[in-house]
Structure 1
Amino acid sequence: MGSRVSEIKRYQIRVEGIVQGVGFRPFIYGLAIQSCYSGYVLNDVEGVLLEIQGRDIDIENFCQCIKTKAPKASYITNISYHEIDVICDDKEFIIQKSPQGLTKETLISPDLAICEDCKREIKDKNNRRYQYAFTNCTNCGPRFSIVQDIPYDRQNTTMKVFPMCKNCEDEYTNPLDRRFHAQPNACDICGPQYKLVADKVYIANESIKKAHELIKKGAIVAVKGIGGYHLVCDAFNEEAVANLRQRKIREDKPFAVMATNLDIVKKICEVNDKEEELLTSMQAPIVLLHKAKAYNLASKVAPHNAYLGVMIAYAPIHYLLLNDDDVFVMTSANLSDEPIVYQDEEAKSHLSTIADYILSHNRIIQTRVDDSVVRVFNNRQMLIRRSRGYAPSPVLLKGDLISDIPVLACGPELKNTFCMTKGQKAFLSQHIGDLENMAVNNAYKNSIDLFKRLFTIEPKLIACDMHPEYFSTKFAKSYAQDNDLPLVQVQHHHAHIASVMAEHDLKGDVIGISLDGTGFGDDGCIWGGEFFIANLSGYERRGHFQYMPLPSGAKAVKEPWRLGLWIAYNLYGEDIKDKYPELLKVNWQLLIKATQKGFNAPLTSSAGRIFDTVASLLGICYQINYEGQAAIELEKIAYDSDGEVLPFTINKELGQYIIDFMPMYQLLYDLKQKYSVAYIAKSFHLTMAKAICEMIDLLGKESNLNKVVLSGGVCQNITLLDLIYKELQDRYDIYINEKVPSNDGGIALGQMAVALTRYLQENDIEIVK
């Protein structure tokens, strides 16, 4: 009996996700050659398409190898395959050119940190890319910041103006080279170059050496990087850091710093394994680290703060600019409240009063992208700002949120990001910023247009906040009206809760706690300390922190002494002159009378304002120069101190539980006479956590629910969050934001989830998946 003749088969395989510009085709090429298969692989508008042909093909094993061995920079969302007709004369495996398509479906890779191979090359005197500041390969380098259109090929990026030399062309066309189809591929012969004007014009590596020399002498240098300009100075130089603060008009907000290696980071900060993993990841975000006892940077780098934002050099320019023992301030180049500068002419006009010198280059940045910021809680990543390294990678939706109705969620006013959906993918934008001036507003509109173009999304449903005066709300209403589209307005704190539910695919009702600064409430008041029974379609407000007025409205947010004055006066009347004389600013009596009459004194239940009140009563912070300053300084003082739970009440009024901290406020003055401010600050955190946990227990018993969702900007307070977790983790399943920020930077995802759920339910539309 003869042996069985192996049968030749041919399969077509589709790979979707971030699979272009990350070395995916060379990877497939190598995998196919290793298995002795013929066929082809190419990039197209949907991702990567390949066909393999050979004897005894184990197609499931081949697809599994694609998943498990794919390049680190790739991100696979789906692999599908089917058998097709054999092509008899197909004898080799090739990489084909990308065809032009009509519908763009592929994903764009975020900008990635320099890989180890490229690091070695720029430090190797025998390598042709020695000290070349634009060295990259398919495993690293700029992506989102330079792309102009799809497919992701060189002619659709800002590198198209740099024709490759013979050596670079050979790398680019060699399937076995790690620079095969690396779209930003270049060298110092054919690629972009740096330039600095000082006593003379310096170019290429000489400009970088001169910039380093100037920085070490105390200069402030604006450095053009991947997604925009940074303002750079020596973090050990007191005078340079003070000058940067003064020129940038940034009184207290901490600066981020950069180092080239972990060893020097560990000298100034405490670093655990998860933090080290994030620092050295492809995303290379700013990681908030607790200062070490040996911390010795200039006092004004991160004043009154227990934490320091640190990043490891993530672009070749950084490795060439910093020596191994350097720590440089590396802060976004902008004036306060304006977006990061990314265009050269803009740098000359906007940064001339801040920077002594400008180190620029001649590669265009298509899209400005700020540095991302993360911290670690319970050994998990918590995003604070989601931008470079993360955007525009999508959040993958599950369940009923996968829909054929594309949504544009326009996001909040502060820390704005927007969200667009396409099927399973929720594309959250890079950090846009606070929509409070024309420059940011224009950046916002331009980014929306870019996402629509790159991902071929034409929104059919618009979502926004309820606040009528937000720029994003006005934009959403105008967009919906101009395009005759349905608009769903979503309550701010419900969106916070929904963002967590969308991340974790939570169904049904949850106990939702939104601890935040500001949000427009259903009753016209300013919410921010809310306890809901919520799902994706709606919520019932079951409790909140006791309302208090904001004396002089928005001024009270910037000047916490106004809140402290109001509470202290209600406790002590005219005796406030003896107990809290430091709160008696100009016209304080007039302010009290106006607040009593409700004149320019809106009511708020904000958790953030409670932190502000305590910080002012303890003499920690009377006026803030950046968002959350009072709470951050209060947490710093509380760190590592003992404390006790202080009295508070939970009352039920008109069917809602009200947490009242007036009994606690009443004790603060006497406690100051007996204990340290650190002890009282820690006691406040213990008290706030205890009140929140008791409220959750009340709602848990009434609703028989054990899923607790925590979100909102105050959840970035690690001390408070840790206390809540330790109290509740044995009794409840607790969910927080991980893929998007818990602050307003993640709210667009929640807006999308609520709007889509409501729209589908109200219109009785069957979900198409």
Structure 2
Amino acid sequence: MPHSKGMRLRVNGIVQGVGFRPFIWRLATELKLTGRVYNDAGGVIIELNCNEERASEFAEMMSQQLPPLARIDAMHYEPLDLPLFSSFEIDVSQSGIVTTGCAPDAATCPDCLTELWQSGDRRYQYPFINCTNCGPRLSIIRQIPYDRASTTMAEFTLCAACQQEYDNPADRRFHAQPNACPDCGPYCWLETPDGELVASEMPFHTLGEALRDGLIVAIKGIGGVHLACDATNEQAVKRLRERKQRSHKALALMAANIEAIRQFARVNEQDEALLGHPAAPVVLLSTQEKTDQLRAIAPSVAPDNTKIGVMFPYSPVHHLLLAEIDFPLVMTSGNRSGEPQAITNDAARSQLYGIADLLLLHNRPIHNRLDDSVVVAGKHGTQILRRARGYAPTSLSLPPGFPAAPALIALGGQLKNTLCLVKERRAVITQHLGDLHDASTFDEYLQTLQLYRELYDNAAEHYVCDMHPEYLSTKHGVSLEEQGNHLTRVQHHHAHIAACLGDNEYPLAGEAVLGICLDGTGFGTDETLWGGEFLYGSYAEMRRVASLLPVSLIGGAQAIKSPWRSLYAQLRQCFSAGQLAEMIDICPQFADPMCNSFEKMLTMQLNCPLSSSAGRLFDAVATALGCAPVQITYEGQAAIRLESLALTCQEEVEPYHLNIIDNHIVPQAMWQQILTDLRQGRSKAAMALAFHKGLVIALSEMTLKLKAAYDFTTVVLSGGVMQNLLLGEALQDTLQASGLSVLTHQQLPANDGGIAFGQALVALAKNQ
């Protein structure tokens, strides 16, 4: 074949499994260019028989007309000798060093929905309809390159009609790896909890009838199994909670369309855009006041919240089910409390026995578990609370100034764990894996680590972990160190701030910042438990310059589970034990004989570690205002109730006063005000709002005090408590009004779901 001068374009990003090659074929054909396009392990290679000017024109049009799920992170082109092609071809994938990304799973696209409901279409009401613009990706992939043989669809042989679509670059199903139809693809069925098949020619109609009758059903979807029931049926919701052993934590809902959601929640333009995004996350919405015209959601759906989490149907299975009913569904993960969501049919049968009354299963294997992502729209933009299906595993660029790095893996924390794999100039953050307390979740964590190492060909010998010696992620890091790998330990709140800096692409050589990190607890450099911190520095080094006043955690971890212990410890700094015993009108638990043991523990400093935790301060105030349970049933329960109470306040309130003494925010004056207000019968909603406002003022005053001593113009906000919109947005507004630049999280959660990225950046900065 004769050769000529030509141009080669290398494109990196989300460019495999998203219809990118047929898009390139169509564009090149339209521009009458000859050449070829093919996948390799690094992305997509485009070779064109043209000069640099024509290649530049092609690249510009390519960037402007990308397929819906594609994303270009980097593009390079170079001149070289090429065969003189007679047309433009799509060539076979080539192997090599893996640097490309895997696209997230995406909600069913409009074209597939049209076919789903078109009676003459061969995929009419087919539960697994998809194309290159939608459907499963991460949930079915086993390895890269993303070809059918690398997915769980490998066992399904395409029929002639599907093969023709798959081979035709002009078809939107060209190389759609999950492509299938009723003749050759997966199928679903109904069965009882005892494993007996339920004969039904219309399984979704049968499911709808069961839901109408108040039954609980299990539904195997894209990234796992869900449990569903009628969200307007209080008895059904209560029964689901009892069987699943999930007492209070809010349950997500699924509703057919925006009109259905407006029956029980307020939706603005930003909310509507999030609901309709291809990621189809759970969106937290403010509830509507019930009227005769609006549908009432069962009170037990979200008993602690003024917000309710809702998502649209995002798979054909969901669309077919929602079409059979006229009410929203509770759609929560199919698992027993504390265990990972079931993804296999056998796990669904065993784990959900005694919970589900009916199961809808299918034979398309799920290789990677994906929880539903959770987001909320705030005044300053979208806040991601859980980053999973639809968002993961999109990669992030290393911030400016970070050089191409050798392979490195950050192991995350103990709660809301994610992993971060760095290679060259990209960081891949895994989906939300959950809390590592449970053995099966930790097993999943280890499996995911191995999977991502293989997916991204990451042979790291450098690992990064938290400093807390009891985190299972840290212990795993130590075991890897013992095997000869290098291990860097990063302080918990430093990782939080670094994650937010990286999330905002803050440069490595940027000026030092002040980080305000508010969360539950994290192991400090002084080996005490931190949680309400002011840190000054940059990626490589940060030092603690101020904090909330440390208070004893009576009983250690027990204080996290029993919020009234935090109230006792807070008030004990202001009053004697005898005075506290007379405050049973404030907290009935103060009459418990256990308080005598508390005094001995405090005196002897026995299992009463000091902690500056912001979360425990919220627990204490929530207990004083009567909105915290004696024992919490999920993390952050008392704080969520306190924020919800504050949001119900309809009056102007004066903030409570917290003193700034040296480098501590001291709440003693606030406690005096709270006790006075309680005895005078002040509205507890007003008191909850006064606390939030007072804490914002104290945090701002401490920031301005520190600005006089340290050189910074940028403040970084992170930590799980910053997910409290009432607090976080007011603090951002106040600091910006003071002339400071404020950075908050953009693509990662402010909670521990983001710290793996921060751990990685700190380790990279330290090793410069």
Q: TM-score range by the shorter chain?
A: over 0.9
Mapping for residues 459-608 of structure 1, pairs under 5 Å: 459-482=460-483, 484-506=484-506, 507-569=510-572, 570-571=574-575, 573-581=577-585, 582-583=588-589, 584-608=591-615
Verify the 8 A CA contact 2:405 2:764 in the aligned structure 1: no
d(CA) in 2 for partners of 1:598, 1:131: 66
d(CA) in 1 for partners of 2:681, 2:357: 50
SS at match of 1:83: strand
User: What is the aligned partner in structure 1 of residue 636 from structure 2?
Assistant: 628
d(CA) in 2 for partners of 1:40, 1:544: 60
Verify the 8 A CA contact 2:131 2:179 in the aligned structure 1: yes
Amino acid in the other structure paired with 2:99 = E
Deviations 1:445-477 (A, max 9, x none): 110111110111111321100011111001111
User: What is the aligned partner in structure 2 of residue 662 from structure 1?
Assistant: 668
Verify the 8 A CA contact 2:48 2:55 in the aligned structure 1: no
- 1:716 equivalenced with 2:723 (yes/no): yes
Deviations 1:300-344 (A, max 9, x none): 000021111111111111100113732101111112221111111
Amino acid in the other structure paired with 2:23 = F
d(CA) in 2 for partners of 1:389, 1:629: 27
Amino acid in the other structure paired with 1:755 = A
User: What is the aligned partner in structure 2 of residue 179 from structure 1?
Assistant: 173
User: What is the aligned partner in structure 1 of residue 233 from structure 2?
Assistant: 237
- 1:254 equivalenced with 2:250 (yes/no): yes
Q: Taking structure 1 as reference, are residues 203 and 639 closer, same or farther at Cα in structure 2, changes over 3 Å only?
A: same
Verify the 8 A CA contact 2:304 2:644 in the aligned structure 1: yes
User: What is the aligned partner in structure 2 of residue 765 from structure 1?
Assistant: none
Deviations 1:182-241 (A, max 9, x none): 000001111101111249734786222211211121111111111110111110111110
SS at match of 2:696: helix
Q: How big is the shift at 1:93?
A: 1.3
d(CA) in 2 for partners of 1:159, 1:203: 26
Amino acid in the other structure paired with 1:30 = R
Q: How big is the shift at 1:576?
A: 3.5
User: What is the aligned partner in structure 1 of residue 34 from structure 2?
Assistant: 38
Verify the 8 A CA contact 1:511 1:534 in the aligned structure 2: yes
- 1:97 equivalenced with 2:92 (yes/no): yes
**Matched length:** 747
d(CA) in 2 for partners of 1:344, 1:676: 51
Verify the 8 A CA contact 1:549 1:603 in the aligned structure 2: yes
Verify the 8 A CA contact 1:194 1:205 in the aligned structure 2: no
SS at match of 2:177: coil
Amino acid in the other structure paired with 1:92 = S
SS at match of 1:542: strand
d(CA) in 1 for partners of 2:576, 2:316: 61
d(CA) in 1 for partners of 2:226, 2:124: 24
Q: How big is the shift at 1:55?
A: 8.1
Worse-matched range after superposition: 237-246 or 701-710 = 701-710
User: What is the aligned partner in structure 2 of residue 196 from structure 1?
Assistant: 190
d(CA) in 2 for partners of 1:690, 1:28: 55
d(CA) in 1 for partners of 2:419, 2:282: 22
d(CA) in 2 for partners of 1:128, 1:205: 17
User: What is the aligned partner in structure 2 of residue 381 from structure 1?
Assistant: 382
User: What is the aligned partner in structure 1 of residue 274 from structure 2?
Assistant: 278
- 1:113 equivalenced with 2:113 (yes/no): no
Verify the 8 A CA contact 2:512 2:711 in the aligned structure 1: no
d(CA) in 1 for partners of 2:102, 2:516: 34
Amino acid in the other structure paired with 1:176 = A
d(CA) in 2 for partners of 1:430, 1:20: 19
User: What is the aligned partner in structure 2 of residue 344 from structure 1?
Assistant: 345
Residue 124 of structure 1, aligned match among 95, 109, 118: 118
Mapping for residues 101-500 of structure 1, pairs under 5 Å: 101-198=95-192, 201-202=197-198, 206-294=202-290, 296-323=296-323, 325-482=326-483, 484-500=484-500
User: What is the aligned partner in structure 2 of residue 700 from structure 1?
Assistant: 707
d(CA) in 2 for partners of 1:293, 1:127: 42
SS at match of 2:7: strand
Mapping for residues 644-655 of structure 1, pairs under 5 Å: 644-652=654-662
d(CA) in 2 for partners of 1:205, 1:723: 55
Amino acid in the other structure paired with 1:237 = N
Q: Taking structure 1 as reference, are residues 533 and 150 closer, same or farther at Cα in structure 2, changes over 3 Å only?
A: same
User: What is the aligned partner in structure 1 of residue 11 from structure 2?
Assistant: 15
Amino acid in the other structure paired with 2:402 = L
Worse-matched range after superposition: 392-401 or 597-606 = 392-401
SS at match of 1:253: coil
d(CA) in 2 for partners of 1:205, 1:716: 46
Percent identical residues: 40
User: What is the aligned partner in structure 1 of residue 734 from structure 2?
Assistant: 727
Deviations 1:386-407 (A, max 9, x none): 1111111101112233423111
Q: How big is the shift at 1:150?
A: 1.6
Deviations 1:638-685 (A, max 9, x none): 005232112221111xxxx01110111122122022410001000000
Query: For the aligned residues, what is the CA RMSD?
Result: 1.8
Worse-matched range after superposition: 628-637 or 369-378 = 369-378
d(CA) in 1 for partners of 2:565, 2:417: 28
- 1:25 equivalenced with 2:33 (yes/no): no
User: What is the aligned partner in structure 2 of residue 763 from structure 1?
Assistant: none
Q: How big is the shift at 1:59?
A: 1.6
d(CA) in 2 for partners of 1:650, 1:51: 64
d(CA) in 1 for partners of 2:743, 2:724: 16
Verify the 8 A CA contact 2:646 2:686 in the aligned structure 1: yes
d(CA) in 1 for partners of 2:367, 2:542: 41
Amino acid in the other structure paired with 1:505 = E
Amino acid in the other structure paired with 2:75 = I
User: What is the aligned partner in structure 1 of residue 698 from structure 2?
Assistant: 691
- The answer for unaligned runs of 5 or more in structure 1 is 1-6, 761-769
SS at match of 1:420: strand
SS at match of 1:406: strand
Amino acid in the other structure paired with 2:674 = L
Amino acid in the other structure paired with 1:658 = H
SS at match of 2:418: coil
d(CA) in 2 for partners of 1:476, 1:606: 25
Amino acid in the other structure paired with 1:345 = D
Verify the 8 A CA contact 2:252 2:332 in the aligned structure 1: yes
Deviations 1:619-655 (A, max 9, x none): 1113211110100000001005232112221111xxx
d(CA) in 2 for partners of 1:28, 1:203: 46
Amino acid in the other structure paired with 1:485 = N
d(CA) in 1 for partners of 2:199, 2:418: 37
Deviations 1:73-95 (A, max 9, x none): 0111112112233534x221121
d(CA) in 2 for partners of 1:72, 1:9: 33
Q: Taking structure 1 as reference, are residues 250 and 159 closer, same or farther at Cα in structure 2, changes over 3 Å only?
A: same
SS at match of 1:84: strand
